[in-house]
Amino acid sequence: VTWFACAFLALFGLGVFNLSARAAELPELTPAFLSNNLFIFICAVLVIFMNAGFAMVEAGLCRQKNAVNILTKNLIVFGLAVSSYWLVGYSLMYGDPIIPGWLFLKGLFFDPAVTPEMVTDAALVPSVDFLFQAAFAGTSATIVSGLVAERIKFAPFVLFSIIKCGIIYPIGAAWIWNGGGWLKSIGFMDFAGSTVVHGMGAWGGLVGAIILGPRLGKFISGKPQALPGHNLAIATLGALILWIGWYGFNPGSNLAMDQNVPYIAVTTTLAASAGGIAAAITSQLTSGKPDISMVINGILAGLVSITAGCDGFGMVAAWVIGFLGGVLVVFSVKWLDALNIDDPVGAWSVHGTCGIWGTLAVGLFNLEHGLFTGHGLAQLGIQLVGVIAIAIEAIITGIIVWNILGAFFDGIRVTEPEEYEGLDIGEHGMEAYPEFVQARR
Amino acid sequence: VTWFACAFLALFGLGVFNLSARAAELPELTPAFLSNNLFIFICAVLVIFMNAGFAMVEAGLCRQKNAVNILTKNLIVFGLAVSSYWLVGYSLMYGDPIIPGWLFLKGLFFDPAVTPEMVTDAALVPSVDFLFQAAFAGTSATIVSGLVAERIKFAPFVLFSIIKCGIIYPIGAAWIWNGGGWLKSIGFMDFAGSTVVHGMGAWGGLVGAIILGPRLGKFISGKPQALPGHNLAIATLGALILWIGWYGFNPGSNLAMDQNVPYIAVTTTLAASAGGIAAAITSQLTSGKPDISMVINGILAGLVSITAGCDGFGMVAAWVIGFLGGVLVVFSVKWLDALNIDDPVGAWSVHGTCGIWGTLAVGLFNLEHGLFTGHGLAQLGIQLVGVIAIAIEAIITGIIVWNILGAFFDGIRVTEPEEYEGLDIGEHGMEAYPEFVQARR
Amino acid sequence: VTWFACAFLALFGLGVFNLSARAAELPELTPAFLSNNLFIFICAVLVIFMNAGFAMVEAGLCRQKNAVNILTKNLIVFGLAVSSYWLVGYSLMYGDPIIPGWLFLKGLFFDPAVTPEMVTDAALVPSVDFLFQAAFAGTSATIVSGLVAERIKFAPFVLFSIIKCGIIYPIGAAWIWNGGGWLKSIGFMDFAGSTVVHGMGAWGGLVGAIILGPRLGKFISGKPQALPGHNLAIATLGALILWIGWYGFNPGSNLAMDQNVPYIAVTTTLAASAGGIAAAITSQLTSGKPDISMVINGILAGLVSITAGCDGFGMVAAWVIGFLGGVLVVFSVKWLDALNIDDPVGAWSVHGTCGIWGTLAVGLFNLEHGLFTGHGLAQLGIQLVGVIAIAIEAIITGIIVWNILGAFFDGIRVTEPEEYEGLDIGEHGMEAYPEFVQARR
């Protein structure tokens, strides 16, 4: 309580003096200013809506006994992401160079001041850019959630998310999305974040999943066992919400309303469509039946695959890239199983495998730089550098942070009896559906 | 696999050469261009969100044992719709006349090129129009899904959807929405598609439902039996998502942002409100209690009823049209039961009956052409012609395609033991809620 | 039936003559006109989407046996709100003075006519303002729903909602949001309705909850018993939908697209984030575990707390206000329990307690009028007057209307056996999940 009181007083002090937040007198608003800011506002809302999608997909594809835990994680993660990204993340991502190319900073707390110049040259006001970027930061933490589901303690997950969104993600993202970033300067292309957001989250989560080890009963004598999701209705809903949310994620990354926005929306749609179709066909061919969890992951795979280059692919290429993403995701699930790494909802396969694929696809299919469009191998090499650089950052920081948290909390994994009974009882003292009789644990 | 490889190679080829997708140099973007394209982009997103609404309504109003099947159908249908509409549907709908008035075509694959002229005269860029129209195509297939639920095989449903969205729907829709269509030339009015989208889907589905016959146990000695939906929470959610989605469907059909957009949103809202109220009152009066599935269908009935003329009704008329839609839908369910036709979720009653009602209502209440606004019977006659023409197209093609599929797949209906056990196990090998104990099949 | 027929004929008459709904000739649409109307249209859609959020939160946090009842109430309430607000509410809220400062009116039925002047000075067209305001009216009734859940008869709830949205809410809201309202003239500030919408609904519902008395088994010898919600997955989804919907509620209250819109979205986001974090911490500290229903209510508490002053707080202040809202909501639930008042979903604590807090916070933190920003106590006093004035209006009308309804319906509470069995069977004759075996009532 004392700690709270002190923190409050400090924040109150800052709040009281944080007066000059907005410029009073602005020139007339130009049409481009109005439509750009309205557009990014809407896109930010759509990306924030993705939290609902991730929550439903992850909860639905896990078991009932861990549903409250997963839902709570997803509810709180976005609040933590916004808070830490506001405190320091935005500054790390869009600040002034400290180590040119590699590290940036511009003080604590995001500064929302609007200047008259911003209005006349049709740019975005800082608030809307912050909101859009904070929503992206939240996504990279949500992906982690899926990989460590059903066995991680609540407190270390919460702390990892704060560090991920506030420090790890913005430092890496600055390499490409800060104008002075070294990956940008070598020509790395990741339009909406196949690597910067999805890969970033997937690598951090993969490290967590390996450190945690598989869930009880997932691998018996090394053979993967089916632990089916408890509510495929909400998982389906989640996938369709994510599909919608991606119309903020990809077109919004254009950061301006122009004729490219609908084009990006179309390549995104084609890739999602093809990914779902591909996963349905692939699961039919490999397991004899169209598996709904594969269709869900196929749609998401298509979306992740198109994210890096959605602005610069031809339409047929977009469809093919999504289709291959949908095929890849099915096999990636099998590869991970073969390695005895437990990824409960397929988050690695969707965001990691297809994040890599989508980033490399820019080097193959981009209309102005791709190998298959007659522009040689150079871009493909640069894409590979970017993939590896972000992977290294996410893996190293992941190893460090997970291990520090493990030391602090006496391990990041719940006890065996708690895991057996379910994290809902152990971590939250409640059940998601207390009135429905459960068939099995 | 070989077939796959060949198809891929062909598509790769096309992708590689599909380079000139977008114009490089455009003049300054005008205010109307910006707001029109932003508006239709948003509307397209809202219409695509309707997929989540349809999935939840249909799954929620059916039985648990078929939930995975219904969810998978709804997940995959939009992907198939987009793909086939992109391949040929858009070309059939907005192409150049082959048989003037009746058949149009403009090659394979939708062409997204933006020309400078498009920007200066404030029109829509092709991509955004494609996205919006593809979402509409998807709707007409989703409606079919409801009518054939709980007994159709997965593969023939998938193929029907492809044909419906790629060929049947665009050919009929071109009659009114292609500038050279014969229904347009005689003055048929269907602003947002009560007949073109909803009627189109409902007739095709009705043919399927009749060919399939009723579900096991639906009619015992000709008397309809209640087969209650398994999850009314998600069905309610679905209805409210569809309500939201309709703000893309109806206002978006204005195809430009102007002062009519909010007006259309208001008539749409009044009709939905009145439809829900009417169905609650009607079910109270006919069965003694307000039935939630009727309130859901009443809201949807109000929305379908207003769709054809949402731009040209007075507000009181809009409310009344929605109200009558909500009354009609309750009786329509009873009529279909009396005919021993099994429509598991009331899709015919919502989209067919109210699609007809809404289309005819234009001839009664339209402010400039309606009988009750003093403009004679002419428009009502034209509306009837349009309703019948689309019905004939949808019924004949439905009979042909369902029968061909039946011949190909040894019938389109699952076996009796599979239907009894549920399509989730039979078609997908999984359950939607494997941990909740089921009371009955 | 006769009554229906007469009502129809009357409405038909009005519909037929309601011809001059829209202006035919308008000058060229200005950029500000286009973006303002598009923006408010989108915000209205987001606010209407909140109905889905409220439905899922309320149903999820109540017991399974009352789910159909809650879902039906939420489905029908918005239709009733729109209809009554259209009939008379908008006229009472934005009409001409009858008793200057206190009572306004401008005939029956909202008038949608657009004049050329509206276009040239960049204002909103009447339809879009109506739609946005009607969605707000619906919110105030939905809040009531939560407070009276699980024990109220369906018919009196429906009638209360009509009166609330059509008469009680608009009369009080006119005091501040009609240009001639007395609360506006004394300088009361409630930007998006912490008091006008949320307080208004919460006070009316609180009166209902007290008149109804607690649910069977809620208090045993005065000690509160846990009656856990039946479906925390949909409750979580509902909270995230409400979060999204608030981006229509708060930024939309700016009533124009400008640089303040994103700023308001950011303060709203920070408050929601902090509210969720605060409630998680507070429930951890007070009960030993992070309670998901508290996190849900904490997020909503943060949102309600920021609503009154979201346009005029510094960012740190916004975070702190949300955080304190999240703390308050946890204790408010305990206070209400201590008073043996039964608020099944915490609606009073979210909308009442935090509505008061948020309104007073304007007097403390507003950058131009707040005590803590060096502007003295005057505004805080005015805020208190506004809170009390709306409370008095909502309480007195609540007492009158609930008691009249009670006299009419032989009490507004269902019978004890019906409540024990559940309102789904008693009021609707159906169950929400008929196939899942229930563990307990």
What are B268-307's pLDDT values in tens digits? 999 999 999 999 999 999 988 899 999 999 999 999 999 9
SS3 C266: helix
CA B96/CA B118 separation, integer angstroms: 19
Please answer whether residues B275 and B323 qualify as being in contact, where contact means their C-beta atoms are separated by less than 8 angstroms: yes
CA distance B362 to B280: 25
Record the tokens describing residue C329, joined without a space. Answer: 């909501």
Helix (H) or strand (E) holding A105: strand A103-105
Q: At what angle do helices A154-163 and A378-408 cross, to 10 degrees?
A: 140
Q: How many CB pairs under 8 A join B and C?
A: 212
Distance CA A309, CA A318 (A): 9
pLDDT digits (tens, 9 = 90+) for C385-399: 999 999 999 999 999
Give B172-175 contacts, CB < 8 A, sequence gap 24+: B172/B196, B172/B200, B172/B389, B172/B390, B172/B393, B172/B394, B173/B93, B173/B136, B173/B197, B173/B200, B174/B92, B174/B93, B174/B94, B174/B95, B174/B103, B174/B104, B175/B101, B175/B102, B175/B389, B175/B390
- DSSP letters spanning C102-156: TEEE--SS------HHHHHTT---HHHHHHHHHHHHHHHHHHHHHHTTTTB-HHH
Chain C residues touching residue B270 (CB < 8 angstroms)? 82-83, 86
CB A45 within 8 A of CB C46: yes
When mean pLDDT is compared over A5-9, B145-149, B371-375, C21-25, the highest value belongs to B145-149
Pairing of strands B223-224, B103-105: unpaired
Q: What is the reported pTM?
A: 0.95
Which residue in chain C is spatially nearest to A46 when comparing CA positions?
C244
Distance from CA of A352 to the nearest CA of C (A): 26
Chain A CB contacts of B67 under 8 Å are 232-233
Residue B11: is its pLDDT beyond 70? no
Nearest residue to A195 via CA among A215, A213, A212, A181 = A181
What residues in A contact B435, CB-CB < 8 Å? 63-64, 230, 438-440
* C-beta of residue B89 within 8 angstroms of C-beta of residue A227: no
Q: Which residues of A touch B12 (CB under 8 A)?
A: 320, 372
Which residues in chain B are contacts of A439 at CB distance < 8 A? 434-437
Mean model confidence pLDDT for chain B: 91
> Which pLDDT belongs to residue A14?
55
Closest partner residue to B34 among A32, A260, A319, by Cβ? Answer: A32
Alpha-helical regions (H) of C18-30: none
| CA pair distance B223, B210, nearest whole angstrom | 17
Stretches in chain C below the pLDDT threshold 70: 1-24, 440-441
Contact B35 C30 (CB under 8 A): no
What is residue B16's predicted lDDT score, i.e. its pLDDT?
Answer: 47
What residue type is B419 in one-letter code?
A: E
- A15–C244 CB contact, under 8 Å: no
Dihedral angle computed from the Cα positions of residues C360, C365, C367 and C368, in that order, rounded to the nearest 10 degrees: 40
Residues C257, A428: C-beta atoms closer than 8 Å:
no
> 10 Å Cβ neighbour count for C440?
9
- For residue C34, which of B92, A407, B262, B129 has the smallest C-alpha distance? B262
Q: What's C65's DSSP letter?
A: G
What is the distance in angstroms between the Cα of B433 and the nearest Cα belonging to chain A? Answer: 5
Contacts of A332 (CB under 8 A, 6+ apart): A346, A348, A349, A352, A353, A354
Cβ-Cβ contacts under 8 Å, C232 against chain A: 67-68, 71, 430, 432-433
Alpha helices in B115-153 (DSSP H): 116-120, 126-147
Of all residues in chain B, what percent are helix, strand and coil, respectively (each to 5)?
Answer: 70, 5, 30
**In chain A, which residues have their Cβ closer than 8 Å to the Cβ of C322?**
none
- Kindly list the partner chains of chain A, i.e. chains with 3 or more CB atom pairs below 8 Å: B, C
Please answer yes or no on whether A11 and C319 come within 8 Å at the CB atom: yes
CA-based nearest residue to B172, from B160, B183, B187: B183
- The answer to whether C438 contacts A437, with C-beta atoms less than 8 Å apart, is yes
Measured between beta carbons, the chain B residues lying within 8 angstroms of C125 are: 259, 262-263
pLDDT of residue C441: 47
DSSP-derived secondary structure letter, C220: E
Instruction: Give the pair of three-digit tokens for residue B370.
Output: 């309606």
CB contact under 8 A, C299 and A75: yes
Q: Are B175 and B114 in contact (CB under 8 A)?
A: no
| List of chain B residues whose C-beta atoms are within 8 Å of the C-beta of residue C70 | none
**Which subunits sit against C, judged by 3+ Cβ pairs under 8 A?**
A, B
Of A12, A119, A131, the CB nearest to C259: A119
Tokens describing residue A176 = 């490409």
Res. B335: pLDDT tops 60 = yes
User: Among partner residues B26, B42, B71, which is closest to A259 by beta-carbon distance?
Assistant: B26
Find the mean pLDDT for residues B326-351. Answer: 95
* Cβ proximity of A409 and C205 under 8 Å: no
Using the beta-carbon criterion (under 8 Å), do C127 and B290 form an inter-chain contact? no
- Which residues in chain A are closer than 8 Å to C367, comparing Cβ atoms? 19, 21
Q: Do B375 and B369 form a contact (C-beta atoms < 8 A)?
A: yes
Rounded distance between C-alpha atoms, residue C371 and residue C213, angstroms: 39
SS3 state at A285: helix
Tell me the pairing of strands B219-220 and B223-224: antiparallel
Can you give the pLDDT of all 441 residues of chain A as single tens digits?
Answer: 566 666 656 655 554 445 444 555 777 888 889 999 999 999 999 999 999 999 999 999 999 999 999 999 999 999 999 999 999 999 999 999 999 999 999 888 887 777 777 777 778 888 999 999 999 999 888 999 999 999 999 999 999 999 999 999 999 999 999 999 999 999 999 999 999 999 999 999 999 999 999 999 999 998 999 899 999 999 999 999 999 999 999 999 999 999 899 999 999 999 999 999 999 999 999 988 899 999 999 999 999 999 999 999 999 999 999 999 999 999 999 999 999 999 999 999 999 999 999 999 999 999 999 998 888 899 999 999 999 999 999 999 999 999 999 999 999 999 999 998 888 888 888 888 888 887 754
Tell me how far CA of residue A411 lies from CA of A211, A212, B31, B58, B194, in angstroms. Answer: 10, 9, 58, 45, 60
How many CA atoms within 13 Å lie on the side-chain side of B398?
27
Interatomic CA distance for residues B101 and B186, integer angstroms? 11
Nearest Cα to Cα of residue C257 among C52, C42, C10: C42
pLDDT over 70 (residue B19): no
Beta bridge partners of residue A88, listed in sequence order? none
Residues pairing with B105 in the sheet: B96
> With an 8 Å Cβ cutoff, are C233 and A237 in contact?
no
3-state SS assignment for residue A438? strand
pLDDT tens, residue by residue, A88-101: 999 999 999 999 99
Looking at residue A17, its pLDDT comes to 42
Does the beta-carbon distance from C19 to B437 stay under 8 Å? no
Q: Is the pLDDT of residue B10 over 70?
A: no
Predicted confidence at residue C113, as pLDDT, reads: 77
Contact indicator for A201, A142 with CB cutoff of 8 Å: yes
Subunit contact C317:A79, Cβ cutoff 8 A: no
For residue A432, give the nearest of C232, C314, C372 by CB distance.
C232
Task: Name residue, tokens 């159908």.
Answer: B73
CA distance B112 to chain A (A): 7
**Nearest chain C Cα distance for residue A141, angstroms:** 15
CA geometry: angle B43, B46, B52, nearest 5 deg? 160
* Residue C186 main-chain phi, psi, to 5 deg: -90, -5
User: What's phi and psi for A235, nearest 5 deg?
Assistant: -65, -40
C214 residue type, one letter: P
Q: Tell me how crowded residue C396 is: count the other CB atoms within 10 A of its CB.
A: 13
* Residues contacting A29, CB < 8 A, separation 6+: A119, C31, C32, C258, C259
| Helical spans, DSSP H, in C339-377 | 347, 354-365
Quote the distance between the C-alpha of residue B153 and its chain's center: 21
Rounded Cα–Cα distance for residues C251 and A413 (Å) = 42
Under DSSP, is residue C98 helix (H, G, I), strand (E, B) or coil? strand
The pLDDT tens digits of the residues spanning A213-257 come to: 999 999 999 899 989 999 999 999 999 999 999 999 999 999 999
For residue range A45-64, what is the model confidence (pLDDT) as tens digits?
999 999 999 999 999 999 99
**CA B330 to each of CA B170, B309, B344, B382: distance values in angstroms, whole numbers, following the listed order:** 31, 22, 14, 27
Q: Which residue, among C30, C127, C132, would best test binding to B if mutated, counting the most B CBs under 10 Å from its CB?
A: C127
